[in-house]
């Protein structure tokens, strides 16, 4: 975009023509002191120029925390306890990350949301399908069919005839990406086409760390971060342009801290993979972890888990114990007396 297209004071436009500063990209990449020194404009004129250039680069207005808290619809998980924790579910207009160790139930959440998004808005969905992108394991098709068969049990708040009328499996679009190039092609072409046709309103990437860990060594951090920002920018544009929630499932990495006794052992915790460069691209960060103990409900038993809100602009830092049943992930608030 050229600077001639910006709504600027004639004095500012004349200064830009005089120094042959034509591209908006050149303006946003320069600092205010550099622009002031180059153009000879006052500080207030330079600030006007920067504001106009930044607004021209932003395709969509930002979503505020107040909007998220009061009225920006999303996708519910279908469990009242967990939806209460997330204030209605997965928000639109940004990336939600779900991180955790293997076996904590992250993929369960992705599958559950892929079905929930297909319900009408009055029942916590968006009335469209989901694009599920696998980058490491094969898609768990058997588990998906099991969840579909148990939807009447999970969604007791929805009329049974409506649940039975939805053809869930026809609206989960599955893609496999073996490398970063195929992942980028999937998002820029396949995802955009499905979104533009109104066939999907949810993107799930499972998992985001697998390909970046496989293709880059420790010394390649600069190129890795560049590709990571390209990937996240694509997701942000799709989410904003089509008002689509995005869920990125992430692996974790061990973080060691030395005990107070320098001769003692180091304690280990986990944090989401891909570091600060990725964390800055995420609007909502959730984590899942396994707890000690088992929850029993009738003939079913499940390892106890915990879903935690690490950060979000509209959510308090909180958590909820959960369990995985045949019908999906639920909060265990109703079964606290049946723990072992």
Phi first, then psi: give them for residue 225, nearest 5 degrees: -65, -35
Q: How confident is the model at residue 259 (pLDDT cuts 50, 70, 90)?
A: low
If asked whether residues 24 and 86 sit together in one domain, one would say no
Longest Cα pair distance anywhere in the chain, in angstroms? 79
336 inside domain: no
For range 49-77, the mean pLDDT: 71
For range 148-166, the mean pLDDT: 96
Residue-averaged pLDDT of the chain: 89
Percentage of the residues of the chain whose pLDDT score is greater than 70: 89
Q: How confident is the model at residue 153 (pLDDT cuts 50, 70, 90)?
A: very high
232 inside domain: yes
273 inside domain: yes
Specify the number of domains making up the chain. Answer: 2
Query: Two tokens at 62?
Result: 């930002």
Buried b (16+ CB within 10 A) or exposed e, 4-36: eebebeeebeebbeeeebeebeebeebeeeebb
- State CA 197 to chain mean position distance: 22
Name every residue whose Cβ is closer than 8 Å to that of residue 248 and which is 6 or more positions away in sequence: 95, 96, 97, 98, 204, 205, 207, 208, 235, 282
Alpha carbon distance 86, 308 (integer Å): 10
Query: Two tokens at 220?
Result: 């390649």
The residue ranking higher by pLDDT, 118 or 257, is 118
Alpha carbon distance 37, 96 (integer Å): 41
If asked whether residues 180 and 50 sit together in one domain, one would say no
- H or E segment at 170? none
305 inside domain: no
Alpha carbon distance 308, 287 (integer Å): 5
Alpha carbon distance 66, 288 (integer Å): 26
What sign has the CA pseudo-torsion 213, 216, 217, 220? negative
The Cα angle at residue 338 between residues 98 and 106, in degrees rounded to 5:
15
Quickly tell me which residue has 């139930």 as its tokens.
Answer: 105
Give the pLDDT confidence score for residue 261 in this predicted structure.
53
For range 161-182, the mean pLDDT: 96
Q: How confident is the model at residue 337 (pLDDT cuts 50, 70, 90)?
A: very low
Task: Supply the range of the domain harboring residue 7.
Answer: 1-58
Query: Two tokens at 153?
Result: 């049990």
Give the pLDDT confidence score for residue 267 in this predicted structure.
47
If asked whether residues 51 and 87 sit together in one domain, one would say no
Give the pLDDT confidence score for residue 312 in this predicted structure.
93
If asked whether residues 182 and 248 sit together in one domain, one would say yes
The CATH number that applies at residue 27 is 1.10.150
pLDDT over threshold 50, residue 325: yes
Reported pTM = 0.80
Give the pLDDT confidence score for residue 66 in this predicted structure.
59
If asked whether residues 29 and 159 sit together in one domain, one would say no
If asked whether residues 101 and 250 sit together in one domain, one would say yes
Give the pLDDT confidence score for residue 140 in this predicted structure.
96
Give the pLDDT confidence score for residue 68 in this predicted structure.
57
Quickly tell me which residue has 């160790």 as its tokens.
Answer: 101
87 inside domain: yes
Alpha carbon distance 66, 313 (integer Å): 9
If asked whether residues 179 and 50 sit together in one domain, one would say no
Give the pLDDT confidence score for residue 264 in this predicted structure.
47
If asked whether residues 102 and 137 sit together in one domain, one would say yes
**Which of 144-153, 240-249, 260-269 has the lowest average pLDDT?**
260-269
pLDDT in tens, 72-114: 568 999 999 999 999 989 998 889 999 999 999 999 999 999 9
Q: How many CA atoms lie within 13 A of 184 on its CB side?
A: 11
Alpha carbon distance 285, 282 (integer Å): 7
If asked whether residues 77 and 37 sit together in one domain, one would say no
Query: Two tokens at 78?
Result: 């279908």
Percentage of the residues of the chain whose pLDDT score is greater than 90: 64
């Amino acid at each position: 975009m050229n600077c001639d297209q910006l709504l600027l004071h004639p004095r500012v436009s004349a200064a830009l023509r005089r120094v042959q500063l034509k591209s908006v990209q050149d303006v946003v990449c320069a600092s205010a002191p550099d622009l002031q020194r180059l153009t000879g404009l006052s500080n207030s004129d330079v600030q006007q120029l920067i504001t106009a250039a930044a607004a021209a680069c932003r395709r969509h207005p930002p979503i505020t925390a107040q909007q998220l808290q009061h009225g920006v619809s999303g996708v519910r998980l279908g469990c009242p306890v967990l939806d209460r924790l997330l204030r209605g579910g997965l928000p639109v207009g940004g990336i939600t990350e779900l991180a955790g160790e293997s076996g904590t139930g992250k993929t369960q959440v992705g599958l559950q949301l892929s079905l929930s998004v297909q319900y009408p808005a009055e029942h916590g969905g968006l009335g469209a399908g989901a694009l599920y992108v696998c980058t490491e394991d094969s898609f768990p098709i058997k588990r998906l069919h099991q969840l579909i068969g148990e939807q009447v049990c999970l969604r007791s708040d929805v009329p049974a005839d409506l649940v039975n009328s939805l053809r869930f499996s026809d609206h989960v679009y599955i893609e496999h990406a073996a490398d970063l190039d195929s992942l980028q092609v999937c998002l820029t072409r396949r995802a955009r086409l499905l979104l533009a046709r109104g066939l999907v309103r949810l993107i799930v990437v499972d998992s985001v760390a697998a390909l970046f860990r496989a293709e880059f060594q420790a010394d390649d951090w600069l190129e890795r971060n560049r590709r990571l920002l390209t990937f996240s920018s694509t997701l942000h544009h799709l989410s904003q342009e089509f008002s689509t929630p995005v869920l990125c499932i992430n692996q974790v990495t061990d973080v060691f801290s030395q005990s107070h006794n320098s001769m003692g052992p180091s304690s280990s915790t986990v944090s989401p993979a891909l570091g600060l460069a990725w964390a800055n691209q995420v609007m909502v960060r959730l984590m899942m972890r396994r707890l000690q103990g088992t929850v029993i409900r009738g003939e079913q038993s499940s390892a106890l888990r915990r879903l935690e809100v690490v950060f979000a602009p509209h959510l308090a830092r909180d958590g909820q114990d959960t369990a995985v049943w045949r019908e999906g992930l639920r909060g265990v608030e109703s079964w606290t007396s049946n723990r072992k």
